[in-house]
Amino acid sequence: MGVLPVAADETGFTADLGRRHSDLFEAFYQHPFLKGMREGTLAKEQVLHYVGQDHQYLTAYVRCYGLGLALSPDREWMRFFHDSAAFILGEESRAHEALCEYAGVSYEEAQVDRLAPSAQAYINHMTAAGHDTLGVLLAALLPCPWTYLWAARRFTEETPLAADHPFHGWWDFYVERSMTEKLLTLRSRLDVLAAEAGPAERERIERAFVASCHYEVRFWEMAWSLEDWTPPNGT
């Protein structure tokens, strides 16, 4: 993958989506929080804010695979949601370990019980998609792996990671080959569903995808700015 999230020869619905909304992928990549992950310059409280919120996000993300199970038309789809949920439940928090180490806290200590506004909004959006069609749900779930895997590959190809990079473990997690295969599976499943959908559903599919891309950028902003529920006037 180069700077665009889609290779020049890729065709299909999700390839078109990636091309049409590559500006959002770029906004994701250029966000100061991710820049801080690249340069290893984040404040520990920003990293901790991210980990606490992201743990909650992952819980909700797995729950949305449960909604996918409920929407599944057959066992083959059920197996996909079941296996993906098991993987995320078991593995994804590995990526957080490097961050906790950097901040000098245990994973347990990094937990929070209150969602920040942008994390809550992203979760609500995915959950609502899980009460629409399978295609709309997959479209809401897709930017999550796509943005991270694309950004991790782009960064590690541009700049080989120094052995002592503080976020080595985090970047490594997202460049693993098996992660790319999972992303391609998700995309090809959505390609098939979108090809079968009528124009109204296809429109909702694209909107769900775009909203999740925006929420991915806002998630960085939430962590970067230590967003919480304090009213803007500080009262």
Residues in the site for ligand VIB, rule: CB under 6 A?
A: 54, 57-58, 61, 88, 92, 144-145, 148, 182, 216, 219
In the complex, what is the shortest distance from the CB of residue 150 to ligand VIB, in angstroms, rounded to a whole number?
10
CB 146 within 8 A of CB 216: no
Residue 102 or 197 with smaller CB distance to ligand VIB? 102
Residue 89 or 201 with smaller CB distance to ligand VIB? 89
Instruction: Report the length, in residues, of the chain.
Output: 235
* C-alpha dihedral (2, 22, 91, 190), degrees to nearest 10: -110
CB 64 within 8 A of CB 70: no
Measured distance CA(19)–CA(8) in Å, rounded: 10
Residue 97 or 201 with smaller CB distance to ligand VIB? 97
In the complex, what is the shortest distance from the CB of residue 93 to ligand VIB, in angstroms, rounded to a whole number?
9
In the complex, what is the shortest distance from the CB of residue 68 to ligand VIB, in angstroms, rounded to a whole number?
13
In the complex, what is the shortest distance from the CB of residue 121 to ligand VIB, in angstroms, rounded to a whole number?
12
Closest C-alpha to 107, from 122, 92, 87, 119: 92
- Give first-to-last CA distance, the chain, whole Å: 46
Residue 13 or 84 with smaller CB distance to ligand VIB? 84
In the complex, what is the shortest distance from the CB of residue 192 to ligand VIB, in angstroms, rounded to a whole number?
20
Residue 168 or 182 with smaller CB distance to ligand VIB? 182
Residue 57 or 202 with smaller CB distance to ligand VIB? 57
In the complex, what is the shortest distance from the CB of residue 233 to ligand VIB, in angstroms, rounded to a whole number?
28
Closest C-alpha to 157, from 53, 52, 38, 73: 38
